[in-house]
Structure 1
């Protein structure tokens, strides 16, 4: 019997009947342990052999549940992201329901990627999506349905917000490192920048302010600044569509 496909695993195709005693492992436990390894050790250190050691079984036994790493990471993404935030009554009844919802929607996606940094690189591109990830897309599109934007514009708007949140999360993960080599590089870069201040005054001033800075979640940081500017642009486009 052929192994289940990624889509079958993601969308909960009924388990095939098996003879013998009930297995000690479950797909849910395997995925949960894989997420813990990726969170604590990085995605590069996640292998089927490492996972088998973690769950306490032979490597080949894992393949009875998940055919390989590709299928495993697809399950990990859908589990780690979870479902999107619900649309509240206050958001639905606001003057701009789409904006009232999409801002916390993008912020929540960012927070999920921050908790699971490895997910950022896996959520880009065309690939099989599970029910949780598709719910993120569907809920965001639902609040844009009555804005006058066409389907392409609605989809691109959602992709733009996701891309911004993903990129900022990856930048935060990079700057949060305590690697001494990175600290040394920052010091050396500061020396170079100060020596080139007259040649590139605007770029140097901006970079000097950013080098070594730690993101402040309470400040007007790159995440909220970018989200608000994207939503400002959408608001202008929506108003143009309605006037037309």
Structure 2
């Protein structure tokens, strides 16, 4: 599975496209498409078949236009991926991280806000698994991503943390959600590609292990692994790992906030 990189195209043109800056209109027939149309189609292709299946030709065929006409709107696949990411980020809950909770202006706790952000990302990556194929060291600095970052920072504003700590807390929570979602998506793909569920795989492997592995050599692994395997019906449970890990991440952030004894620490 190919890894793509955001920010790999023409930086200037990519940012212009992200913010809706269009080239000066030319004389002639009115354009049949818009960059937004191309992004919508590209996301549909990637959702169905992954980024490996995405190409300007595939998009053109889906839209029923000549392949070269796509380049009139988007210079190439690299810039297109930036647009796709920013569009997808726009699906995140617009209230995520806001201090006003559902209680009509009542302030939600920082833990609840960060948990909401993590769960929203977890769900987003499961809706669009292709996002996990994109390395975002150079993020697409479009309006949806910047809106998302602003909301996330509001979730930890006023807690006594420094600016760098606020940025790091946000990165920790969203990075944990992304990593957990990647593990979950990969587990689902393994079942799709092999035609064998985790339970079926485990049931096939277990009898062989019982014959070959001496429990006395691995007493802890045998005991703990049996309990975990029975609970998950597999060697690993991505959903459980996400829930357990999120609580521990939030506990750690809570300890940091308490150490600062800020006005919002509670």
Shorter-chain TM-score range: 0.7 to 0.9
- 3-state SS in 1 of match to 2:24: coil
Pick closer, same or farther for the CA change 1:151–1:228 going to 2, 3 Å: same
The normalised TM-score by structure 2 is: 0.78
Alpha-carbon deviation of 1:111? 0.5
Corresponding residue of 1:178: 192
Corresponding residue of 1:24: 32
Corresponding residue of 2:47: 39
Q: Deviations over 1:63-95 (max 9, x none)?
A: 11111111011111111221542133347634x
Out of 33, 43, 57, the residue aligned to residue 49 of structure 1 is: 57
Out of 122, 143, 148, the residue aligned to residue 136 of structure 1 is: 148
2:125 paired with 1:113: yes
Pick closer, same or farther for the CA change 1:53–1:206 going to 2, 3 Å: same
Q: Which runs of 5+ in 2 are unaligned?
A: 1-9
Q: How many residues align?
A: 239
Higher relative contact order (CA 8 A, sep 6+): 2
Alpha-carbon deviation of 1:46? 0.7
Q: Which runs of 5+ in 1 are unaligned?
A: none
Distance in 2, Cα, partners of 1:74 & 1:23 = 22
Task: Out of 184-193 and 70-79, give the one that drifted further.
Answer: 184-193
Distance in 1, Cα, partners of 2:245 & 2:77 = 34
Corresponding residue of 1:102: 114
Distance in 2, Cα, partners of 1:193 & 1:18 = 70
Distance in 2, Cα, partners of 1:162 & 1:139 = 12
Pick closer, same or farther for the CA change 1:19–1:191 going to 2, 3 Å: farther
Corresponding residue of 1:212: 234
Task: Out of 26-35 and 208-217, give the one that drifted further.
Answer: 208-217
Corresponding residue of 2:217: 199
Corresponding residue of 2:6: none
Alpha-carbon deviation of 1:124? 3.5
Alpha-carbon deviation of 1:201? 3.9
Alpha-carbon deviation of 1:231? 1.3
Distance in 2, Cα, partners of 1:97 & 1:216 = 27
